[in-house]
Amino acid sequence: MVAGSVLMALVLVLGTAARVWQVARIDDDTHADAIVVLGAAQYDGTPSSVFEARLGQAYRLFDKGIAPVVITVGGKRPGDEYTEAAAGKNYLTDQGVPADRVLAVETGSDTLESIDAVATAMRARDMSSVVLVSDPWHSMRTRTMARDAGLRAWTAPTRTGPAVYTRESQVHGIARETAAFLWYKLTHFPADFKYTAEQ
């Protein structure tokens, strides 16, 4: 009985890990109402390398005409002058994206809170489809949360940045997201474990 339970748990974990890896490889550039960039650390308005990689991917998608609007999302920690969303918007406008094409949703201290805030903002603007930009390993959980929030969602993750630099960071990302995804499916609560100290 115990051995059977252990085997079932192992199959569940390994199956989820395989699915995290599989979804991470998907690059879906289907046209949508908006491109959403999940927030990450920023330092006095300057995006961290993790965040910059995500913003760079969002810029490339916008430049290809994948969506007419980019949504940046994320709040701020106590003492911060900028929110992640504001830092992201400033970065994109500096790259040449028109300011009226970037919506900063300055709410969210974890993935679930951010997705819920984005869904609310999009519904208020009669938008319902979204391309999600984050790190590859984060894709399955963000897509699941967005769909649970009532959005039509697919993913086009960044292929650069610290989350994908090394085999070690890839294994760590898959392991972390496997645990976070299973926790979310079990509880519908967030379980955000940081990639690095800078995220």
CATH value at residue 8:
3.40.50.620
- For residue 194, what pLDDT band results from cuts at 50, 70 and 90? very low
Query: Residue 182: which domain range?
Result: 2-187
Q: Look at residue 7 in the predicted model and tell me its pLDDT.
A: 75
Residue 197's Cβ-count burial label (10 Å; 0-12, 13-18, 19+) is exposed
Residue 196 lies in a domain: no
Mean pLDDT, residues 48-69 taken together:
97
**CA distance to 110, 121, 188, 196, per residue, from 72 (Å):** 14, 11, 23, 20
Tokens 């106590």 locate to 78
Give the model confidence (pLDDT) of 169-183 as tens digits.
888 899 999 999 999
Compute the radius of gyration of the chain from its Cα atoms: 17
Q: pLDDT tens for residues 136-155?
A: 999 999 999 999 999 999 99
Residue 193 lies in a domain: no
Phi, psi of 141 (to 5 degrees): -70, -45
194: closest CA among 135, 150, 152, 140? 135
Q: Between 139-148 and 2-24, two packed helices, what is the crossing angle to 10 degrees?
A: 90
% of the chain surpassing 70 pLDDT = 96
Q: What is the pLDDT of residue 168?
A: 86
Q: Is the pLDDT of residue 90 over 80?
A: yes
pTM of the model: 0.90
Question: pLDDT-derived band of residue 86, with 50, 70 and 90 as boundaries?
Answer: very high
**Residue 123's pLDDT band (cuts 50, 70, 90):** very high
Task: Tell me: pLDDT of 192 over 70.
Answer: no
The C-alpha angle 164, 67, 70, rounded to 5 degrees, equals 65
Q: Is residue 179 part of a domain?
A: yes
What letter would DSSP give residue 38?
P
pLDDT at 183: 94
Structural domain contains residue 194:
no
pLDDT in tens, 155-167: 999 998 887 777 8
pLDDT in tens, 103-117: 999 998 899 999 999
Specify the number of domains making up the chain.
1
The arithmetic mean of pLDDT across residues 42-65, rounded, is 95
Whether 198 maps to a domain, the answer reads: no
Q: Is residue 48 part of a domain?
A: yes
Would residue 66 count as lying in a domain?
Answer: yes
